[in-house]
């Protein structure tokens, strides 16, 4: 092959590649219904947020967006499904903090969050609220810590499972406060809350929408929330950070990801569509009513955020010697 023929071959190959990329970009929205997978059962905070966003997303792109609940293993089953799923943009995941940045350090998972899944945009976040039953005899975080130090190993805390966001919030507080609360994992928020109300467990780092009705009814005592600022719907409850532990933050968050094999052009189009929906005043208002704060990001911002969360929680897992057992 002479030089002219070689240059022509390279030019044709480049043109073919451009056409292929252009065709992939044109396949947005996908020419079939879109599935938004949620790793938790219907009715919870993740499901409510996903359905609100999916409805508006479908309207905006002129395509059906179906929410599929794939509960099990703390959300890990859903994450594996999407990692192995179609890479044409027709399957998205409303991924969460546990499977994306905690579970890989606590248990063996069959996916790599940073290789088998691709970042699209942040979704929503919300803090936990540390609540105790009235029989414990404490009304402030300082009193709670004093009790835990006075009787080491006698104060326990519930979570929605080993490696969950509520579990790691408790372990982070153990570390920062220099106490040793005993972790008691449950299979979900409902049984954890039931045992707390029955005074069979001392405390629980609960999702605010779950605990709020019982706080308002006077059945549970809120000690602190785990974000850096007080949520608007709990203005009178201090944060852990302002209660003597500066910088303490343990947020629950959900983000949009897809199969790691999805073309970048399609991921970028999804980012634009999702960010637009999260900025919609009606969507923002609806999410806020559920105690959820929209968290739209660029793809790069989400990746950086996930890496920071991964480093933070892996350090806590090592320090506290946390396992899934």
**Helix (H) or strand (E) run with residue 68 in it:** strand 65-69
pTM: 0.85
Q: For residues 82 and 91, what is the distance between their CA atoms, to the nearest angstrom?
A: 7
Tokens of 218: 């006077």
Could you read off the pLDDT of 66-112 as tens digits, one per residue? Answer: 999 998 888 899 999 999 999 999 999 999 999 999 999 999 999 99
Could you read off the pLDDT of 14-49 as tens digits, one per residue? Answer: 544 444 444 444 578 899 999 999 998 887 778 889
Q: What is the pLDDT of residue 15?
A: 46
Q: Which of 10-19, 63-72, 297-306 has the lowest mean pLDDT?
A: 10-19
Q: For residues 169 and 249, what is the distance between their CA atoms, to the nearest angstrom?
A: 8
Closest CA to 139 of 64, 237, 234, 229: 237
């Amino acid at each position: 092959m002479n030089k002219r023929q070689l240059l022509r071959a390279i030019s044709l190959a480049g043109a073919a590649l451009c056409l292929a990329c252009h065709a992939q970009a044109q396949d947005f929205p996908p020419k079939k219904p879109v599935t938004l997978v949620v790793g938790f059962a219907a009715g919870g905070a993740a499901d409510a947020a996903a359905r609100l966003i999916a409805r508006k997303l479908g309207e905006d792109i002129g395509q059906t967006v179906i929410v599929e609940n794939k509960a099990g293993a703390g959300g890990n089953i859903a994450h594996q499904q999407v990692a192995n799923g179609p890479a044409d943009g027709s399957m998205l995941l409303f991924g969460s903090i546990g499977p994306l940045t905690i579970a890989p350090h606590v248990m063996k998972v069959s996916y790599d969050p940073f290789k088998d899944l691709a970042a699209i945009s942040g979704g929503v976040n919300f803090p936990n609220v540390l609540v105790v039953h009235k029989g414990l005899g404490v009304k402030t975080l300082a009193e709670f810590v004093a009790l835990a130090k006075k009787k080491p190993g006698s104060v326990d805390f519930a979570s929605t499972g080993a490696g969950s966001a509520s579990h790691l919030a408790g372990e982070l507080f153990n570390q920062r406060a220099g106490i040793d609360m005993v972790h008691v994992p449950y299979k979900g928020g409902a049984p954890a809350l039931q045992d707390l109300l029955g005074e069979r467990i001392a405390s629980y780092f609960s999702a605010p929408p779950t605990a709020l009705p019982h706080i308002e009814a006077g059945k549970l005592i809120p000690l602190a929330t785990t974000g850096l600022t007080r949520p608007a719907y709990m203005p009178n409850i201090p944060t852990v950070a302002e209660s003597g532990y500066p910088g303490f933050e343990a947020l629950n968050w959900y983000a949009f990801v897809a199969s790691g094999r999805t073309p970048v052009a399609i991921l970028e189009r999804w980012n634009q569509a999702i960010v637009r929906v999260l900025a919609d005043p009606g969507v923002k208002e609806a999410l806020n009513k559920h105690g959820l704060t929209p968290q739209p990001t660029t793809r790069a911002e989400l990746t950086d955020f996930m890496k920071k969360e991964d480093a933070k929680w892996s350090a806590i897992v090592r320090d506290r010697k946390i396992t899934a057992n």
